[in-house]
Structure 1
């Protein structure tokens, strides 16, 4: 099973490979695109190679992984990434090079991944976004995710406080279930009106 290739109208979602190090570097080096991501922008191809080994090659060695390169069909060159963690709380995340923003690509890729994890029997997914990045929340809403609560975290490795909004989408019919992981880990948590 591992990581099935997914295709949409405009996109191919597939595994990153060693041949994609340059593309991964282009995705992860941009300061604006990485402002809301939990790592610093990459500075070199060597850092991109290490990122690939730690974040992708290790995941692909597992029996199942949802860690995709987002590629345009016309050239199969990665312009972003999208993932769902198998570990609880099944965190869903994505990022795109900024020249591909505002085209519905994250939503299109997200719908394909959501369908796949639902088909594979995951009970739910969660996603969080910095409250200063509402565009990310808009993608979550377009995928059918519902806002549940907000919490403050001393964000690592950048080490500053961030208020995150947590969204969730349940697939198992249990509409009342809300993952409490972030709520319980944070002393400052609340529901925004």
Structure 2
């Protein structure tokens, strides 16, 4: 199987980031509001962006299997966001999008394509977490078929703040009752929120 195979949807091309995308990546990563709920600080420079690109993309593309995509509009193939599924045990599904493109269903459209691909490739499940103060992110998770499982508290790094996360999961292999419990087990504060 190919690492990060290119995907197309009605409006989007999902492809690998390349060296040529550093300026586009900088636009995505430098925005304060976009980065409020992400586990890093906004980047301040092209140099910082290059480092981010190397660690999060170039190095991943050396692995035998990875899903680390640039979200591009078909009209110009210019990255306006990113979407990924990690190959670690949690198979974490994550995404970010430039603010100008919010509220157009872009991440849900990209997410459905990525989920279909990892399912084809035999991933047994994916998980995702969002800050309880960022419920819109949960909408994306639900839109791609994920279900809420539980909430847990974490002393979140590198920002070193206490965050309550909601954990969503989608089982792709028919084992509907599997729940990824690692966050539950490692957090002293965990609970199931009713009505979610």
Is TM > 0.5 for Structure 1 vs Structure 2?
yes
Distance 1:3 1:129 in 2: 24
Deviation at 1:2, TM superposition (A): 1.1
Please report how far the alpha carbon of residue 134 of structure 1 lies from its aligned counterpart in structure 2 after TM superposition: 0.3
Partner of 2:129: 128
Q: Which residue of 1 aligns with 2:39?
A: 38
Q: Which runs of no fewer than 5 residues in structure 1 stay unpaired?
A: none
* TM-aligned CA deviation for residue 178 of structure 1: 0.2
Q: Which residue is equivalent to 1:28?
A: 29
Any idea what the Cα deviations from partners look like across 1:61-86, whole Å, max 9, x if unmatched?
Answer: 00111000000000000000000001
- Deviations along 1:101-159, one digit per CA (max 9) or x if unpaired, are 00000000000000000000000000000000000000101111000000000000000
Can you give the 5+ residue segments of structure 2 that lack an aligned partner in the other structure?
Answer: none
* Residue aligning to 1:148: 149
- Shift in Å, 1:3: 1.2
Residue 116 of structure 1 is matched in structure 2 by: 117
Aligned length: 193
Deviation at 1:43, TM superposition (A): 0.4
User: 2:84 aligns to what?
Assistant: 83
Q: Cα RMSD (Å) of the superposition?
A: 0.4
What does residue 11 of structure 1 align with? Answer: 12
Instruction: Determine whether 1:168 maps to 2:169.
Output: yes
Q: Secondary structure of 1:86's partner?
A: coil
**For the residues of structure 2 that align with 1:79 and 1:185, how far apart are their CA atoms?**
35
Q: What is the TM-score when the length of structure 2 is the normalising length?
A: 0.98
Q: Distance in 2 between matches of 1:55 and 1:98?
A: 21
| Distance across 2 between alignment mates of 1:87 and 1:12 | 25
Whole-Å separation in 2 of the counterparts to 1:184 and 1:98: 35
Report the Cα distance in structure 2 between the residues aligned to 1:55 and 1:145, rounded to whole angstroms. Answer: 24
What SS does structure 2 have at the residue aligned with 1:94? Answer: strand
Structure 1 stretches of 4+ moved >6 Å: none
